[in-house]
């Protein structure tokens, strides 16, 4: 059973919006997500001879230094995918025109760097509904990967962002009903993204713990440790569910050096050790392919 590794390349400015400090993307220099995080991930993936999919924010892709890194991603055989233009936090509250503008603007920037059309999209903070389906189909996209099929994840994300903001925050971060979505790739209902249906678009949900539906991506690995994630991967394998494992570029950034503090975020050496252990475990469970390749392999069976 194949699997896919995904990396959300969210600049530090997307995190600083919640911290009472200056700097939300106005720094003319390269963002550490690109100068530190992505190069470290590329080196690690190359060491294990693995391919991955990097979800890129269009706003960041306009920076010349970032473009050089994105070009390196493409040249090394990885996939780049659309993560919106400006990473709006309540993406599913945008009207259809605003939503399409976010997708189109990022697509125009990224397809030039990709030297060809893109195949996939992820909404910021899993903030998505069925309105995204016709927009992505019109753009010729093969898949969306915005569903995190967990009922507890929205509560955890609201708690984490509230800690950053230092007051109660309610994001549209996923949806409790997403816990009812299939745990592996499926064709969504055009009117309800978490229900199986007949859409030509494929939904590629981020992997969660089977049965319990708790998140298992890297943010939670830093809290619960690698062994819990390995257990989840084994359970997915036994159920013949391909894993869709999500990292973030900031996982390999020395955030302390950049005066950024995140709840439950370990030191860089600790995080680097966990990420490497996870990459090794993922490579043993399956031969990871890009998300585009995973969808190509599975779309006739779903």
Domain coverage including residue 86? 4-298
Backbone angles phi, psi at 153, to 5 degrees: -55, -45
Q: What angle do CA 156, 186, 251 make, to 5 degrees?
A: 40
0.75 surpassed by pTM: yes
Q: What pLDDT shows up at residue 166?
A: 61
Answer for the pair 8, 81: CB distance below 8 angstroms, yes or no: no
Q: What pLDDT shows up at residue 92?
A: 92
Q: What pLDDT shows up at residue 152?
A: 86
Extract the tokens encoding 83.
């993560």
Question: Can you say how many angstroms the Cα of residue 300 is from the centroid of all Cα atoms in its chain?
Answer: 24
CA–CA distances in Å: residue 192 to residues 129, 175, 189, 206: 7, 12, 5, 17
CA–CA distances in Å: residue 181 to residues 119, 205, 270: 22, 8, 33
Q: 70 by DSSP, 3-state: which?
A: helix
Answer for the pair 133, 144: CB distance below 8 angstroms, yes or no: yes
Helix/strand/coil (H, E, C) string of 119-170?
Answer: CEECCHHHCCCCCHHHHHHHCCCCEECCCCCCCCHHHHHHHHHHHHHCCCCC
* Continuous H helices in the chain: 12-16, 32, 38-47, 58-61, 64-75, 96-114, 132-138, 153-165, 218-224, 226-238, 268-285, 291-298
Answer for the pair 153, 174: CB distance below 8 angstroms, yes or no: yes
| Number of domains into which the chain is organized | 1
Q: What pLDDT shows up at residue 174?
A: 75
Tens of each residue's pLDDT in the chain, 302 residues: 789 999 999 999 998 876 655 555 556 679 999 999 999 999 999 999 999 999 999 999 999 999 999 999 999 999 999 999 999 988 999 999 999 999 999 999 999 999 999 999 999 999 999 999 999 999 999 999 999 999 887 766 656 555 565 655 565 667 889 999 999 999 999 999 999 999 999 999 999 999 999 999 999 999 999 999 999 999 999 999 999 999 999 999 999 999 998 877 999 999 999 999 999 999 999 889 999 999 999 988 99
Tell me whether strands 143-144 and 188-189 are parallel, antiparallel or unpaired: unpaired
CA–CA distances in Å: residue 133 to residues 48, 61, 175, 247: 35, 24, 16, 24
Q: What pLDDT shows up at residue 264?
A: 79
Please name which of 285, 276, 224, 227 lies closest in space to residue 247, comparing C-alpha atoms: 276
Region of residue 154 (left: phi > 0; alpha: psi -120 to 50; beta: else): alpha
What CATH number corresponds to the domain at position 220?
3.20.20.370
């Amino acid at each position: 059973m194949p699997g896919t590794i995904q990396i959300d390349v969210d600049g530090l400015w997307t995190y600083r919006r919640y911290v009472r400090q200056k700097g939300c993307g106005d720094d003319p220099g390269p963002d550490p997500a690109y100068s530190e995080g992505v190069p470290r991930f590329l080196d690690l993936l190359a060491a294990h001879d693995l391919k991955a999919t990097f979800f890129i924010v269009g706003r960041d892709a306009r920076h010349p230094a970032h473009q050089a890194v994105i070009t390196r991603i493409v040249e090394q055989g990885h996939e780049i995918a659309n993560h919106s233009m400006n990473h709006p936090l309540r993406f599913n509250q945008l009207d259809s025109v605003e939503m399409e503008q976010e997708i189109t603007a990022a697509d125009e920037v990224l397809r030039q760097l990709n030297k060809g059309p893109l195949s996939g999209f992820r909404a910021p903070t899993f903030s998505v509904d069925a309105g995204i389906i016709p927009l992505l189909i019109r753009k010729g996209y093969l898949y969306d990967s915005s569903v995190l099929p967990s009922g507890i994840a929205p509560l955890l994300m609201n708690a984490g962002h509230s800690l950053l903001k230092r007051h109660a925050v309610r994001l549209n971060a996923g949806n409790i009903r997403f816990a009812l979505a299939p745990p592996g790739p499926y064709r969504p209902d055009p009117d309800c993204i978490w229900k199986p249906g007949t859409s030509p678009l494929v939904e590629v949900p981020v992997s969660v713990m089977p049965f319990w539906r708790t998140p298992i991506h890297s943010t939670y690995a830093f809290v619960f440790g690698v062994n819990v994630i390995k257990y989840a991967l084994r359970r997915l394998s036994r159920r013949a569910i391909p894993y869709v494992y999500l990292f973030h570029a900031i996982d390999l950034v020395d955030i302390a050096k950049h005066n950024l503090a995140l709840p439950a975020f370990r030191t860089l050496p600790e995080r680097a050790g966990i990420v490497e252990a996870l990459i090794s475990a993922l490579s043993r469970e399956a031969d990871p392919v890009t998300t585009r390749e995973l969808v190509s392999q599975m779309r006739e069976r779903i």
